[in-house]
């Protein structure tokens, strides 16, 4: 397997591999162009992201945005993120429809071994999945391998270290469910549109 194939599979890999170094540099160039693009021209900014990030036409991101690769990010319809979103996408990061991301959020599929000797020789990761209708408050950190269910609210400053079930409000470090949400029926306008 190539180092890239190992990375995408969540196995230990070398981030110093030439192909991965090149891919990260290309992603940095894309992010740089996006972050410096005219803030009045949202379509042009989002077209820059479309070079690597998969999303529907109605996604919107405020600058600044940073990622490792970009090609491992999938954003659902009606996605919105505020300033300073960072996604470390060594594995797939999937975010569902109608997601709202507060400022200064970090979503990381990247990890490193706990053993200091192993850490010198490689890294690994695990996919992150975030469901539909999720709101991540400002300064939230989502760690590798986490699954956040549909209709969840993650409180500002939370560190999500484990899965959060559907219809939950969760807060804290580590993030814990504090209450359940009972979604209301969608209005006729929402259902038709």
- Active centre residues (catalytic): 112
As a 3-state breakdown, the chain gives helix, strand, coil percent values, each rounded to 5, of 20, 25, 50
Spatial CA neighbour of 72 closest among 34, 122, 111, 107:
107
Collect all residues with Cβ–Cβ distance below 8 Å to 25 and sequence separation of at least 6: none
| Alpha carbon of residue 32 to chain centroid | 18
Helices (H) and strands (E) in the chain — how many of each? 5, 19
Laid out side by side, the sheet with 85-88 consists of 65-67, 85-88, 106-108, 141-142, 159-160
Locate 48 and state its tokens: 């820059």
Distance between CA 8 and CA 55 in Å, rounded? Answer: 19
């Amino acid at each position: 397997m190539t180092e890239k194939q190992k990375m995408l599979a969540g196995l230990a890999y070398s981030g110093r591999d030439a192909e991965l170094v090149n891919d990260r540099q290309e992603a940095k160039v894309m992010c740089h162009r996006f972050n410096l693009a005219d803030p009045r021209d949202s379509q042009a900014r989002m077209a820059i992201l479309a070079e690597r990030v998969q999303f529907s036409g109605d996604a919107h991101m405020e600058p600044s945005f940073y990622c490792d690769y970009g090609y491992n990010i999938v954003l659902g319809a009606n996605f919105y993120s505020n300033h300073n979103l960072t996604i470390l996408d060594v594995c797939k990061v999937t975010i569902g429809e109608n997601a709202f991301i507060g400022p200064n959020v970090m979503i990381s599929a990247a990890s490193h071994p706990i053993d200091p000797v192993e850490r010198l020789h490689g890294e690994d990761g695990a996919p992150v999945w975030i469901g539909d209708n999720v709101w991540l408050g400002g300064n939230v950190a989502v760690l590798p391998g986490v699954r956040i269910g549909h209709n969840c609210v993650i409180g500002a400053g939370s560190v999500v270290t484990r899965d959060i079930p559907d219809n939950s409000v969760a807060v804290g470090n580590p993030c814990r469910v504090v209450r359940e949400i009972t979604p209301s029926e969608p209005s006729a306008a929402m259902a038709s549109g």
